[in-house]
Amino acid sequence: MDKYRIRPHTKINLNEFDPNDISEFKGDKEDGNKHTAKLNAELEVLQEKLYAEHKRKVLIVLQAMDTGGKDGVIRNVFDGVNPQGVRVASFKVPSALELDHDYLWRIHSLSPGKGEIVIFNRSHYEDVLVVRVHNIVPEDTWKKRFDHINDFERLLSDEGTIVLKFFLHISKDEQKERLQARLDDPEKHWKFSVGDLKERALWDDYMQAYEDVLSKTSTEWAPWYVVPANKKWYRDLVISTVLVTMLKKFDIKYPENKDDLSKVVIE
Ligand code: AMP
Ligand code: MG
């Protein structure tokens, strides 16, 4: 899955990334889902150790165009993981209070503590994506943010946070199908927002903004992965694989009990 990791300082052209790619797994959807389930079981154990150890922190950033599958990843990749120690933070249009502070204020306050895995459903990257595309702040303001973001993530990393960032890459055609499916199914109407169509019309501007994000903010300490996301099963498989592989690289251990338990007798 290393194929999907963006090397630092690489100029990215998203046209060169196929959202339908399924080439890193030999097998079909059914095999893929079985494999993801196995990884999920591994993740449950790793998460328990992380929580028990109370030392490291894990931050997972999910970014995508509307319908890109952020909610699906949260549901599928973290299925069955103990909710104690895992938290989702969703970032919406900033509140008046949030706007009174710098854009990293709300982000920092919801970042993971020791032993915690936090999933960011949208993130500080909105401040160089939607904010840029809609000219919410002037260019000379958002341009400086790439450096702030790299430094901020460096701080998190230096202080014990494992940071992984995933861009769920769908095609514009796939988005059309998914939006249509929401429109056709009354039980999905709650997910449909007419505003999403305005964002869709700005697709090319968003792709350019994402290309800059990927080119400028994939670092050794907080790498980006461009995940082919037209096939939901493959998307989940890629993210599960990256996450489990990464966590296994750290020697996360259950802490030793401070008492000598060999002498303990339970009456
Ligand atoms: P959703 O994730 O579908 O609930 O939508 C949340 C909305 O909030 C999206 O349209 C985001 O672009 C928007 N949003 C998130 N962060 C920001 C931000 N910093 N500035 C402006 N809009 C934002
Ligand atoms: Mg939405």
Domain ranges of the chain: 2-251
| Smallest-distance ligand from the CA of 104 | 1
The answer to whether the CB of 88 is under 6 A from ligand 1 is no
Q: Which atom of ligand 1 is nearest to the CA of 129?
A: 12
Averaged pLDDT for residues 21-50: 98
Please determine, for residue 80, whether its predicted confidence score (pLDDT) is greater than 90: no
Percent of the chain with pLDDT over 90: 99
For 2-251, the fitting CATH number among 3.40.50.300, 3.90.180.10, 3.40.50.2300, 1.20.1440.230 is 3.40.50.300
Q: What integer pLDDT is reported at residue 168 of this predicted model?
A: 99
* 222 vs 120: CA distance, rounded Å: 14
> Which of 63, 66, 92, 108 to probe ligand 1 with, by most ligand atoms within 8 A of CB?
92
* 87 vs 110: CA distance, rounded Å: 9
Buried/exposed 194-226: b ≥16 CB within 10 Å, e otherwise:
eebeebbeeeeebbebbebbbbbbbbeebbbbb
Percent of the chain with pLDDT over 70: 100
pLDDT tier at 226, thresholds 50, 70, 90: very high
Closest Cα to atom 3 of ligand 1: 66
Least Cα distance to 162 among 267, 242, 247 occurs for: 247
Please determine, for residue 153, whether its predicted confidence score (pLDDT) is greater than 90: yes
Question: Using CA atoms in the order 121, 173, 9, 91, what is the torsion angle rounded to 10 degrees?
Answer: -20
* 70 vs 228: CA distance, rounded Å: 13
Averaged pLDDT for residues 111-137: 98
The answer to whether the CB of 92 is under 6 A from ligand 1 is yes
pTM reported for the whole predicted model: 0.97
